[in-house]
Copies of this chain bind each other. A is one copy, B any other.
Amino acid sequence: MLTERRAQLLSLIIGEYVDTATPVGSDAIVRRFELPFSSATIRNEMARLEEEGYVSHPHTSAGRVPSDKGYRYYVEALMQERDLPNEVKQTIRHQFHQAGREEDEWVHLAAAVLARAVENAAVVTVPRTTESRLKRLELVGIQDNASLLVLVLQQARVKQQVLIFPEAIEQDDLTAITNHLNSAFRNLTAGEISRSSAQLTQMEWHVANAVRDIMQASDRGGFDEAYLEGVRNVMQKPEFATSDKMLNLLDVLEQRNLTRLIPFREISADGVTVMIGAENEEDVMREYSIVVSPYGVPGGITGAVAVVGPTRMHYPRTISTVRFVSELMSEMLATYYDEGGG
């Protein structure tokens, strides 16, 4: 445990470093905060903080830089998460209500709003149910032997695919197939459709297989689909003066394999999780922190909201913004797609 004074000092160092991005020296901090001690005292305290691993020293005669451990301690014990100002909340809420009612649009918007608010990159995944149920299917003729298969799944998820039939087929037949399958499969999961004992014609089988495949693909999908915004914000930060680091980050973020990067699986069931620097599994993320929160209905439809930026980030602001946006997304989902209606 740190003494009260050292903890305070750590907090000041982090605050200053987050602002200026330059290692903070004893003299600078005493003058900036008009501390009732001399810089020599602070130097001693800093030396202790360094011994214990909370800050580090880029080189002999430079100021101190917080370490991952320092940030961790700060996040857990020192910082106070203050609620977002009401104007900010209102502004964000307003943007959401202005947006259309398409779920993808919200997700995109959430990423954009978040990226702007915290001046870092934001990732928001499309929400998923654990296992989707079929609400309705529709076949629309395109050509003699091809039609568009549209599935409406539980929670207003829509999937589409062009379906080729082995032989030409009439609109009347399409309608008949549609009606039959709709009554046979309504509210079933992919697994239940597979095991269904409904009597089906050959053509119906063809369609049913496609339906099952699409639903399985959707279930397997997990968190794959995600919106990414604000990469530029991260690259603008002074720690990325070298173009090498930019390329590395871009590399990681551009291939949309965000799932591998962000520990969606490990995030606590409710509330915000913070992963700092080397706490991240991936090597490339050593210099970044991730602030992530799930949203949606626990056990039902869920997604995740995350911010990615350098470890030197404004944690209280980021955490409370992530929290607010995830709550807002939950709220939106609950309003329009609640479990009962699904």
Which residues from chain A sit less than 8 Å from chain B, CB to CB?
A: 100-102, 135-136, 138, 140-143, 146, 148, 150, 152, 156, 158, 160-163, 229, 231-232, 235-236, 240-243, 246-247, 250-251, 254, 336-338, 340-342
Contact = CB atoms under 8 A, between A and B. Distances in A.
Instruction: For the complex of A and B, list the 8 residue pairs with the smallest distance between their C-beta atoms, beginning with the closest.
Output: A101-B162, A143-B341, A142-B341, A148-B156, A158-B160, A232-B250, A243-B243, A140-B152
Nearest to A342: B142
> How many copies of this chain does one complex carry?
2
Contact of A152 (B136, B150, B340): B150
A65 B340 CA distance: 67
Chain A contact surface mostly: mixed
A140 B155 CA distance: 11
Max count, chain B CB within 10 A of own CB: residue among A156, A251, A336, A340: A156
Nearest to A100: B161
A194 to B, nearest CB: 20
A157 to B, nearest CB: 9
Contacts of A138: 136, 138, 150, 152
13 contacts: A101-B162, A101-B163, A136-B138, A142-B342, A143-B338, A143-B341, A148-B156, A148-B158, A150-B152, A158-B158, A162-B336, A235-B250, A246-B246
Contacts of A242: 243
Contacts of A254: 229, 231-232
A101 B136 CA distance: 20
B158 A150 contact: yes
Nearest to A230: B254
A152 to B, nearest CB: 5
A143 B148 CA distance: 27
Contacts of A102: 160-162
